[in-house]
Structure 1
Amino acid sequence: MEKKVVFNNLHRKKHFDFFNSMNHPHFNITANVEVTSFVAQIKERKLPLTYSLVHVLSETANEIKEFRWRIRNEEVIEHKTVHPSFTVPTDEADVFSFCTVDFQRELKDFISEAERVRSQMKTNPSIEDEPGKDDLLFMSAIPWVSFTSMQHAMSYHPHDSVPRISWGKFFQQEGKTMMPLSVQAHHALVDGRHMGAYFQKIEAALVGF
């Protein structure tokens, strides 16, 4: 389900036009977030870390409408729900496959669906997106590096408006477990306030997991 977004505020419309006219309209923020409580809960409840983390990241994105906005044919549409498409290893090669899973509000339901799709990807990997499908969140894990910045591959002509969310290797800092988190979004849709809200909500969700 989707609906058209109309900018009735003149300044908001100018903001959209200004950034949408750029060759590279995406911006990226990378920050370390605490996952001490999250990791402890994962171990105690015997939950799969990747699926649980993807669920938290997706749920938070769905709570902010600007992360559900997409540019299509010079118009802005709002999806009711956006779904994670995240990278997973395969048995076919030493490069990843995309694993696209319909977002489920209940964690157990999401894990079950992710397991089903993941089993298909092991021997039948996919790297292509479904044409015309933009109700997605592109996610990737870089578990080998506690990175401090991230640059994503993407098409610029025409550029897409799907947010990119990546996380890196956990590390210890002052007795806490930390995780680098990179969030990239189209600046015509997502501004600094919305990006800041995403990080604030993620931190609260991970602490309260």
Structure 2
Amino acid sequence: MQNFERRRDRFALFDRMDSPAVNLCFTMHLPEFRPWCKEQGLGPFHVLLCAVLRAILQVENFRYRVLEREVIEIDRLHPSYTVVNQHFDLNFAQFDWSDDVREFVARSQAAGRAAGAMEALNDNYAGMSAREAREQVFITCMPWLDFTSIQHPMASLAAPDIPSLAWGRFRSGPDCLQLPFSVQAHHGFVDGYHIHLLAQRIAAELEAIMLASPFIL
């Protein structure tokens, strides 16, 4: 927490505001990983989700949370993301972490199918402890939209310490993959520079995943 202590005054500044959240939407540039996913039989969304969550854990500022009015640093994540069910209503897919990308994708896909088959809202998160609830990142994907702005819901405007991330429709660029990407986080923890670092780490994680080349089953 030494790095946080250096910015505790920044945290105090933003935390006393009505809404301390910073929300940036930008065009993410990533290596074109979809052909690799097709070759490996892995869903692109789930591979990107894996890269995003791995990157979150590597940028310290995205691991800060507020628990019982104290700042803590988490070291693990409970993966989850939004899906639509058969009636096109939102639901939440939740699953256990795996360091192995193929197992991560399998668990993610299974959780998505299970949540998509539910009519009632998946409320498994209600059984989390207060600490476990902070070990999340809120993820949504809107593959139909090339959006330029987004406002994420928050239980309280004064408590945006769990980051909210969203991305939209993939499009091929001249030498890379491009997609709209949004990051919302507590400005006491995260500045624009840290969002830049996160974007770099996501691209690097995708490269690393492709270089590892999981065995085709």
- State the TM-score, normalizing by the size of structure 2: 0.83
Matching of residue 120 in structure 1 with residue 130 in structure 2: no
Q: 2:48 aligns with which of 37, 46, 53?
A: 53
Distance in structure 1 (CA, Å) of the matches to 2:157 and 2:178:
36
Backbone CA RMSD of aligned residues: 2.2
**Unpaired stretches in structure 2, ≥5 consecutive residues:** 211-217
Distance in structure 1 (CA, Å) of the matches to 2:175 and 2:190:
34
**Equivalent runs, 1:12-161 vs 2, <5 Å:** 12-91=7-86, 93-124=87-118, 125-126=120-121, 128=123, 129-130=125-126, 132=130, 133-156=133-156, 158-161=158-161
1:204 corresponds to which letter in structure 2? A
1:87 corresponds to which letter in structure 2? T
Question: Could you list the per-position Cα deviations for residues 180-202 of structure 1 after superposition, in whole angstroms to 9, with x for gaps in the alignment?
Answer: 11111111122233222101112
Q: Alignment identity in percent?
A: 27
Distance in structure 2 (CA, Å) of the matches to 1:8 and 1:115:
36
- TM-superposed CA distance for 1:8, in Å, is 7.7
- TM-superposed CA distance for 1:25, in Å, is 0.8
Deviates more, 1:131-140 or 1:170-179: 170-179
Question: Could you list the per-position Cα deviations for residues 53-106 of structure 1 after superposition, in whole angstroms to 9, with x for gaps in the alignment?
Answer: 111111110111221211122201111112232011212x21121112222211
2:148 corresponds to which letter in structure 1? T
Deviates more, 1:176-185 or 1:133-142: 176-185
- TM-superposed CA distance for 1:36, in Å, is 4.7
2:88 corresponds to which letter in structure 1? D
Quick check: which one's strand share is greater? 1
> In the alignment, which residue of structure 2 is the partner of 1:198?
198
1:105 corresponds to which letter in structure 2? D
- TM-superposed CA distance for 1:127, in Å, is 5.0
Distance in structure 1 (CA, Å) of the matches to 2:3 and 2:199:
25
Distance in structure 1 (CA, Å) of the matches to 2:205 and 2:106:
21
**Unpaired stretches in structure 1, ≥5 consecutive residues:** none
> In the alignment, which residue of structure 2 is the partner of 1:178?
178
Distance in structure 2 (CA, Å) of the matches to 1:40 and 1:32:
21
Quick check: which one's helix share is greater? 2
SS at match of 2:99: coil
- TM-superposed CA distance for 1:137, in Å, is 0.7
SS at match of 1:151: coil
Distance in structure 2 (CA, Å) of the matches to 1:191 and 1:176:
26
Distance in structure 2 (CA, Å) of the matches to 1:8 and 1:163:
17
- TM-superposed CA distance for 1:172, in Å, is 3.3
> Residue 101 and residue 166 in structure 1: after superposition, are their counterparts in 2 closer, same or farther (change >3 A)?
same
- Give the length in aligned residue pairs: 203
2:19–2:157 Cα contact (<8 Å) kept: no
> Residue 7 and residue 55 in structure 1: after superposition, are their counterparts in 2 closer, same or farther (change >3 A)?
closer
1:182 corresponds to which letter in structure 2? S
2:94 corresponds to which letter in structure 1? T
- TM-superposed CA distance for 1:119, in Å, is 3.4
Distance in structure 1 (CA, Å) of the matches to 2:104 and 2:175:
31
